[in-house]
Amino acid sequence: MKSLVLYYSQKGSNRYLAEKIAQELQCDIEPIRPRVDALLLMIMGLHLGNKKLLHDVGSYDLIILCGPIWVEQFIAPFRFFVKSNFNSIKQLVFVTCCGSSYEQKDEKYGHGRVFNKVRELLKEKCTLCQAFPISLVLPADKKEDGELKMKTHLNDENFKGEIAERFEEFISGLKNYPSYRQVLDMA
Ligand SMILES: Cc1cc2nc3c(=O)[nH]c(=O)nc-3n(C[C@H](O)[C@H](O)[C@H](O)COP(=O)(O)O)c2cc1C
């Protein structure tokens, strides 16, 4: 199973996550680099495309796309990537370190709504979406603290406890991906 991790990150959490996934799977990794890397423009949909990737998407069995969620969007650089590589993508897993918690996933701005968009776009090519909400690394009494959520980024210090356990589970699923996929297909 040949995998490629592609990521986009502004504040570092998704880069951290992407690097950890690539390290665990011992696979290739590359950032998606928007031609114009301006958050506001990308949120408004004024995206001028991405720079050319060094890796050949079509030569991988699995693309693992890792990046943030902004205002309930599957972010523009990822939408552009999917659009321009649709025929070359065999299977894709979407992973995000985001602001919305598991409890909030189906509410406005929740990651569950974005997962629906990803599945709609990729159809049977996307068998798995996984969130690692930043609240997983906050103390129990601060999980709803919006300001703290925005200030907190994943790092070696805080990547422990529940997030590390969930990450381990996710990785072992990916390592057994073809059979894991069958389980998902049956679900
Ligand atoms: C402008 C903006 C909008 C955001 N909107 C959402 C959202 O709709 N849902 C969500 O779960 N998180 C949202 N977030 C939180 C980011 O997904 C979160 O901070 C992410 O971890 C940042 O990733 P990075 O450190 O890799 O840049 C938003 C963050 C920003 C800056």
**Per the structure block, which two tokens stand in for 81?**
């990537």
Question: Which atom in ligand 1 lies closest to the alpha carbon of residue 97?
Answer: 21
In percent, the amount of the chain with pLDDT more than 90 equals 90
**Residue 93: CATH number of its domain:** 3.40.50.360
Whose CA is closest to atom 16 on ligand 1?
A: 98
Q: Please give the pLDDT value at position 76.
A: 96
- Structure confidence at residue 109 as a pLDDT band (50, 70, 90): very high
**Cα–Cα distance for residue pair 169/87, rounded to 1 Å:** 30
Range 37-43 contact pairs with CB under 8 angstroms and sequence separation of 24 or more:
39/10, 39/70, 42/70, 42/75, 42/76, 42/77, 43/70, 43/71, 43/73, 43/76
Domain count, the chain: 1
- Over residues 164-184, the pLDDT tens digits come to 999 999 999 999 876 656 556
Whose CA is closest to atom 3 on ligand 1?
A: 70
Domain span at residue 129 reads 3-186
- Over residues 154-165, the pLDDT tens digits come to 999 999 999 999
**Cα–Cα distance for residue pair 42/147, rounded to 1 Å:** 23
- Over residues 26-61, the pLDDT tens digits come to 999 999 999 999 999 999 988 899 999 999 999 999
From the CA of 16, how far away is ligand 1's center (Å)?
15
From the CA of 69, how far away is ligand 1's center (Å)?
5
DSSP E strand stretches across 3-83: 3-7, 28-31, 62-66, 69-70, 73-74
**Per the structure block, which two tokens stand in for 106?**
């189906």
